[in-house]
């Protein structure tokens, strides 16, 4: 139950999860990336679709994540479609600029990232964990330590220095939406293992 195949062939993402799970859970990238129809209306549905597809293909417990950026003033864009936003733009830097352009001079720039993890152990044993990080959308791209929409997302922190997620790699490792979801999963699986060891 502690070894999972990642619903992605991305070795970098597998390494990231390996660090987050502190050796309690092991995650390996899939031998080949599958084309999964992410037709769900929620992060939970899409994470489930991906995890189930990899479980059925590789016959092993699978871990999938689905994440995205939600902007209060622009609820019709991004969300579960974050990765597919503005398909005519191939670079995320251009997608970020497009978001800033669409927000224009709106006063409400509140936003939040969501990550949902789905651990598909068997058809009868599926677990979900969610993490969120709140913040605002900046007026320009800042930083080069992140990816996706990190350069325009300014997370809520006690240090009100206006730094974007792409300028805060160490903070992100501990407090990002993916980190929070992973911490919840780690806590759950640790407790489950401890209970199993105590059974006579």
Q: pTM for the complete prediction?
A: 0.90
- What is residue 200's predicted lDDT score, i.e. its pLDDT? 60
Q: Where are the alpha helices (DSSP H) in the chain?
A: 11-20, 43-58, 92-103, 169-175, 177-198
CATH number, domain containing residue 164: 3.90.950.10
Do residues 158 and 104 touch, judged by C-beta distance below 8 A?
A: no
**pLDDT, position 180:** 95
Total structural domains within the chain? 1
Helix (H) or strand (E) holding 115: strand 110-122
pLDDT in tens, 36-95: 988 889 999 999 999 999 999 999 999 999 999 999 999 999 999 998 899 999 999 999
Q: Which domain holds residue 34?
A: 3-198
pLDDT, tens digit, for every residue of 120-142? 999 999 999 999 999 999 999 99
What is the three-class DSSP state of 20? helix
Whether 124 sits among the annotated catalytic residues: the reply is no
What whole-number distance in Å separates Cα of residue 158 and Cα of residue 165? Answer: 14
- Active-site residue, from 19, 37, 66, 124: 66
State the pLDDT at residue 1. Answer: 54
């Amino acid at each position: 139950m502690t070894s999972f195949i990642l619903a992605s062939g991305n070795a970098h993402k597998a390494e990231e999860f390996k660090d987050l799970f502190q050796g309690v859970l092991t995650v390996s990238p899939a031998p080949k990336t599958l084309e999964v129809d992410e037709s769900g209306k929620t992060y939970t549905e899409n994470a489930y679709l991906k995890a189930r597809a990899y479980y059925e293909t590789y016959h092993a417990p699978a871990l999938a994540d689905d994440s995205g950026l939600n902007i209060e003033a622009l609820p019709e864009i991004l969300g579960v479609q974050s990765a597919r936003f503005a398909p005519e733009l191939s670079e995320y830097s251009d997608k970020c600029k497009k978001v800033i352009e669409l927000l224009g001079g709106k006063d409400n720039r509140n936003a939040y990232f969501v990550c949902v993890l789905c651990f598909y152990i068997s058809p009868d044993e599926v677990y979900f964990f969610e993490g969120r990080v709140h913040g605002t959308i900046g007026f320009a791209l800042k930083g080069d330590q992140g990816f996706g929409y990190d350069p325009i997302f300014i997370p809520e922190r006690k240090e009100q220095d206006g730094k974007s997620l792409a300028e805060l790699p160490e903070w992100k490792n501990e407090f990002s939406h993916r980190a929070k979801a992973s911490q919840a999963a780690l806590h759950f699986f640790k407790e489950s293992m401890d209970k199993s060891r105590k059974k006579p």
